Amino acid sequence: MKVLVPVKRVVDANVKVRVKPDKTGVDLNNVKMAVNPFCEIAIEEAVRLKESGVATEVVAVSVGATNCQEQLRTCLALGADRAILVQVDDAVQPLGVAKLLKAIFDKEQPGLVLFGKQSIDGDNSQTGQMFAALAGLPQGTFASKLTVADGKASVVREVDGGLQTVELKLPAVITTDLRLNEPRYASLPNIMKAKKKPLDTVSPADLGVELKTTVETVSVEPPPERKAGIKVESVEQLVDKLRNEAKVIS
């Protein structure tokens, strides 16, 4: 079984993002970039499936500019067998990404598609679901446990009320949550081997997909700074401030 894992290039989770002076977006100049953390979890799960003999090949795919090759090489160092870059110089919205991945899916015919549940930049949590709808595949989102056997995938989902278990017939789409696994670190030998693994580049035109912009970003602004807290001398003073200043109680 082949496993397809879409991954995204994002600002490193440990970096404090800065908004551009003109408020058109986030300043990416001289900023460390990384594989989206949820996508790392998806890659780790795919590699574990291969190590257990369930999967035979892991293919990482990314949509973006040429510099996305850096993150794809990281995925190859983590255990993916090959990678595909759909090269697009401009930003692509979730629906556009889903359409491009649908074209890759039709070409590769994987038995399982593992997404991260969301990216830490847009936080949309849309692409996996949109892809599943376009491909007509069953989906198990926010997975905290995955078992694949006998042509089916059993997925334990994290939902508001607790845990939900669903069984999906393969091929299927899974989006990974934080508690599914803990990604490994790439060893130096694997980083060197990753340089020789195949990384193909295609364009939207090669896939027969026309990209359209349907959402416009009007402004990007940092959250307002929080005021420093104060200490109160008594419960009565606390209640007074909550009632008369914060106005959160009546």
* Paired tokens of 103: 């074209």
Q: Is the dihedral of CA 131, 124, 66, 72 positive or negative?
A: negative
Q: How far apart are CA 206 and CA 104, in angstroms?
A: 10
Q: How far apart are CA 174 and CA 133, in angstroms?
A: 13
- Considering the domain boundaries, does residue 234 fall inside one? no
Residue with structure tokens 């807290």?
A: 229
Model pTM score: 0.87
- Considering the domain boundaries, does residue 177 fall inside one? yes
* Residue-wise pLDDT tens digits, 133-169: 999 999 999 999 999 999 999 999 999 889 999 999 9
- Considering the domain boundaries, does residue 221 fall inside one? yes
Segment among 103-107, 133-137, 192-196, 209-213 with least mean pLDDT: 209-213
- Considering the domain boundaries, does residue 160 fall inside one? yes
Average pLDDT across the chain, whole number:
94
Q: How far apart are CA 106 and CA 1, in angstroms?
A: 15
Domains in the chain: how many in total?
1
Q: Is the pLDDT of residue 50 over 80?
A: yes
Q: Is the pLDDT of residue 170 over 90?
A: yes
Domain around 191: 2-225
**Is the bond preceding residue 171 a cis peptide, omega within 30 degrees?**
yes
CA dihedral 33, 38, 41, 42 (to 10 degrees): -100
Which of 57, 45, 44, 86 minimizes the C-alpha distance to 199? 86
Rg (Cα) of the chain, in Å, rounded?
21
For residue 11, what is the domain's CATH number? Answer: 3.40.50.620
- Considering the domain boundaries, does residue 183 fall inside one? yes
Where residue 90 falls among pLDDT bands split at 50, 70, 90?
A: confident
- Considering the domain boundaries, does residue 60 fall inside one? yes
DSSP per position, 99-125: HHHHHHHHHH--SEEEEES--TTT---
* Residue-wise pLDDT tens digits, 15-37: 988 899 998 888 888 899 999 99
CA 162 to mean position of chain CA atoms? 22
Helix ranges (DSSP H) in 109-167: 127-135
